[in-house]
Structure 1
Amino acid sequence: MTRPKFSAVLFDCDGVLVDSESITNSVLREMLIELGWNISQEECISIFIGKALKDQWEPILVHTGVRIDEQWIAEFRQRRDIALRKNLQAIPGVLDAVKRISTLYGDKLACATGADRAKVEMQLSITEIAPFFGNQVYSGMEYAQSKPAPDVYLAAASGLSVDPRQAAVVEDTVTGVSAGVAAGATVFGYCPGGPISSTKEELLTAGATEVFTSMDQLPGLLAQD
């Protein structure tokens, strides 16, 4: 009989459950160009993917002379959300994978993201993934420190009443893997390839126990016979 290998599974959202990173990053790059920073797509990905925008004000200040504030971030979120509502899709294969994992783990699933709550709840709703997580959705912006600090994963484990050292974390960025490792969890790195994706080597160096390339592989990694 197949049994769960861990006490719970904690999923990142962007890049793991929903294919949002390229959409969000394109909006950010457009707004940075408007500020006078002729930033390339590659550089924008390298600097900002997987990190909270509010924590990345310094490179923006250096390149534009503008210290972004809450009003600027609010405009970014508004424009970002319009683009997400129009273009967002689930990561290929993730609905089936999460369904299979939910069958195995029951209600011991959580979504732990560095993004703002409004964004993640909107994305989970659009892609019809929300029912698998119920009220177990955690935003790193609601804690003292966001990823790579472990706060959001520690909160998710606490919300599920499990020891974080007995939990599995599913992440796709170095920042997120670092957060999961800092929480004491076993981290599985998702590496589908492409310009947005961290490399297998980067994820392993950050502390991922194993790296997988397709969501249909994930249920098997989280189960034991």
Structure 2
Amino acid sequence: MSSSMQRFQAVLFDCDGVLVDSEAITNGVLRTMLHELGWPISAEECVERFIGRALSDEFDVIEEHTGVRPDQAWLLEFRDRRNAALAVDLEPIDGAVAAVTAVATAYEGRIACASGADRAKIELQLAKVGLADAFGGHVYSGMETARSKPAPDVYLAAAAGLGVDPRECAVVEDTVAGVTAGVAAGATVFGFASGGLTSTSPEALTAAGASHVFTSMAELPGLLDAGIPQAARRA
């Protein structure tokens, strides 16, 4: 590998839509509950408006469309219904478990899961798909930082927890909000576009600042191993 090509200090993974195929399940529960509040939102609009963002940050838009402002009890009910559905139906993203295993070996465990979701959801999902032990103690929730994605806080926390410079990290993301967060943290972002209903388009990921966009998790270890030309790194 030439001196102009450098590997990263660590790899930081988003969870939903990157490791687990949860977005359609979670968004379906949310859409049902929004219908119950009187907002006949379509599946497409629900995906566009809410995926990649913390639901608690979207109470204003829900109130605008329903006349009802969600409270903590409503949010807890959503989480309970969401978790029940995930516990039954959740599957890993195709190739994600193998990719994480390969990357963890290559980086000697310097990997983290940094999600905008609440910790209970992240841990439930990782356990469901057999990744509970893959990240060790390096699981970070945007609900536990001052700001969630698209702010960079959760990625900065993950890099700090691993003791690495966020500017020398690779971030794996699948949403505009997540890519924006990774770029704001100074990381090099690899955008994952699965092509499914809840998938963000490659063009949108690139426009948000992803340095590379890929469509199969099987590609990821090779992309990371190739490194990124230093001139292409973001300062």
TMscore range, shorter length: over 0.9
Equivalent residue number for residue 200 of structure 1: 202
On the 8 A contact 1:88/1:123 being kept in 2, the answer is yes
On the 8 A contact 1:90/1:127 being kept in 2, the answer is yes
Please give the per-residue CA displacement for 1:158-177, whole angstroms capped at 9, x wherever unaligned. Answer: 00000000000000000000
C-alpha deviation, 1:182, in angstroms? 0.1
Please give the per-residue CA displacement for 1:59-83, whole angstroms capped at 9, x wherever unaligned. Answer: 1101110011111000000000000
Q: Secondary structure at the match of 1:223?
A: helix
Equivalent residue number for residue 74 of structure 1: 76
Equivalent-residue separation in structure 1 for 2:221 and 2:127 (angstroms): 22
> How large is the RMSD of aligned CA atoms in angstroms?
1.3
For residue 214 of structure 2, what is the amino acid of its counterpart? Answer: F
Equivalent residue number for residue 35 of structure 1: 37
Which runs of 5 or more structure 1 residues have no equivalent in the other structure?
Answer: none
Count of aligned pairs? 224
Equivalent-residue separation in structure 1 for 2:37 and 2:97 (angstroms): 38
C-alpha deviation, 1:4, in angstroms? 7.5
Equivalent residue number for residue 163 of structure 1: 165
TM-score by length of 2: 0.93
Equivalent residue number for residue 131 of structure 2: 129
C-alpha deviation, 1:224, in angstroms? 3.5
Which runs of 5 or more structure 2 residues have no equivalent in the other structure?
Answer: 228-235
Residue 212 (str. 1) matches residue 210 (str. 2): no
Equivalent residue number for residue 7 of structure 2: 5
Q: Secondary structure at the match of 1:130?
A: coil
On the 8 A contact 1:165/1:186 being kept in 2, the answer is yes
Equivalent-residue separation in structure 1 for 2:65 and 2:97 (angstroms): 40
Q: Secondary structure at the match of 1:110?
A: strand
For residue 80 of structure 1, what is the amino acid of its counterpart? Answer: R
Equivalent-residue separation in structure 2 for 1:140 and 1:87 (angstroms): 24
For residue 55 of structure 2, what is the amino acid of its counterpart? Answer: L
For residue 181 of structure 2, what is the amino acid of its counterpart? Answer: A
On the 8 A contact 1:19/1:90 being kept in 2, the answer is yes
After TM superposition, the runs of 4+ consecutive aligned structure 1 residues lying more than 3 A away are none
Q: How does 1:48-127 map onto structure 2 within 5 Å?
A: 48-127=50-129
Q: Secondary structure at the match of 2:143?
A: helix
